[in-house]
Structure 1
């Protein structure tokens, strides 16, 4: 009878097992794996085992029995998925102490299904069995991934297909085969899509935030200085607590810049249009 698995004795006393085909309780076509055949060969030797999987799935109860055999095995089990581990085969896959996936492999999980016939009680019983089977599968997935019961149940109901990266992210696999681990740079290069963060412009304790702006002619001016100019023109002296306690870093209001008729100071730094806007705000 044809078997789709094959034991390979490695030089370092480890064994390699390839699973390629469906999983079933009995062999109908000669290429299915059955729990009894698997047990006989698993227990025929010792040492760590590497299991390569390429299977679309099969009988969930046969897969559950093989899962238990692998978990109970004395040596270390490394599972490598080279193409696909779907449905019941994904249950076998998560039995590995370490699960590795080829970057082109897929892992699929979904709700169990069956064929039922009979009356309403038979249909209700079928639903009950499927519900409990799903719970047993969730136990295996949760033990490997660490995901919550609700999250796994939702993934199964939606028939979730996972590439290697997604399987690792969700915890169903541990590593991606053949992936090169590059040394991470000390600092990330500048990302053109993410502009650099500007320094904190908020004033510190005891500091006053200075608003620096440009007028229509492109001259720089200070909002604080413009306030002093406007107050000077209106003949009002600043009498705030800040003005009384702060050191005279700014010139007194009486000594503020004098505006010419063209709307600029002696230095030519301030626009007449800006002054008019300040006056309009004070009306």
Structure 2
């Protein structure tokens, strides 16, 4: 029997060819920054059956220059499609800032690894797992399908290893367990570099000082010294009259017998 083997995420739809884009470009004319939005299932009905689509994505990517921002909110998709996007973004000459605002799961997490910097919203999630496939045939065909999935997994580990610096054994274990990561865990394991911050909230000087105990201490001491230091007039007019050491010792000796 003929075989049908395909490495996909659980949410992949096997449909007919379509020119529907799963990406959208936007450009800030003032800042000159291009933004790429990857929403929904990666390669929805197009990459396997329509050879024009990958070329179109590459043409749009290379139609401009400079740094780009890539927003990702996707449950995954075709492994081959993710590999193509990953390779294009890795080869791009400008910086690629990946921002995960919702979900970067399965194949979408591979694309995220192409970021020069990967940032996650505090509420975002990143998920990695083993590739899946559909196979039809006898025992030999099933063994070939298993071997294919093993190679696909190794190729995915390559991307995770380059980004995180984790060992291949640890990454493989995380994939076996279908690991879900919030922003803090993704940063801890090296899959992300930071958390998206609200640029609208300005940070005052006091907030900045709060991150440095030494700066806070020095600032407090300077305020106390400047406030308690007497003015020049006070030193001259209000300074207390002192006594000699001999007089002071006599007073101390006298207090012993009281």
TM range (shorter): 0.5 to 0.7
1:7 aligned onto 2:25? yes
| Residue number among 58, 64, 85 corresponding to 1:66 in the alignment | 85
Distance in 1, Cα, partners of 2:75 & 2:126? 9
With the length of structure 2 as denominator, give the TM-score of the two structures: 0.67
1:20 aligned onto 2:39? yes
Higher-helix-fraction structure: 2
- Give per-residue Cα distances to partners, 1:145-197, cap 9 Å, x unaligned: 0000100000000000000010001000001001788643528xxxxxxxxxx
RMSD of aligned residue pairs (Cα, Å): 2.1
- Relative to structure 1, the CA distance from residue 115 to residue 98 in structure 2 (aligned partners, 3 Å threshold; closer, same or farther) is same
2:99 partner SS: strand
Distance in 2, Cα, partners of 1:40 & 1:54? 22
Equivalent residue number for residue 54 of structure 2 = 35
Tell me which structure has the larger Cα radius of gyration: 1
- Relative to structure 1, the CA distance from residue 185 to residue 44 in structure 2 (aligned partners, 3 Å threshold; closer, same or farther) is closer
| Residue number among 127, 133, 146 corresponding to 1:127 in the alignment | 146
Contact residue 22 and residue 43 of structure 2 kept, 8 A:
no
With the length of structure 1 as denominator, give the TM-score of the two structures: 0.61
Once the two structures are TM-superposed, the CA of residue 27 in structure 1 deviates from its matched residue by 2.5
Structure 2: gaps spanning 5 or more residues = 1-18, 215-258
Superposition map of 1:1-283 within 5 A: 2-10=20-28, 11-24=30-43, 26-27=45-46, 34-178=53-197, 183-186=210-213
Structure 1: gaps spanning 5 or more residues = 188-283
Higher relative contact order (CA 8 A, sep 6+): 2
User: Aligned residue pairs: how many?
Assistant: 183
Once the two structures are TM-superposed, the CA of residue 77 in structure 1 deviates from its matched residue by 0.4
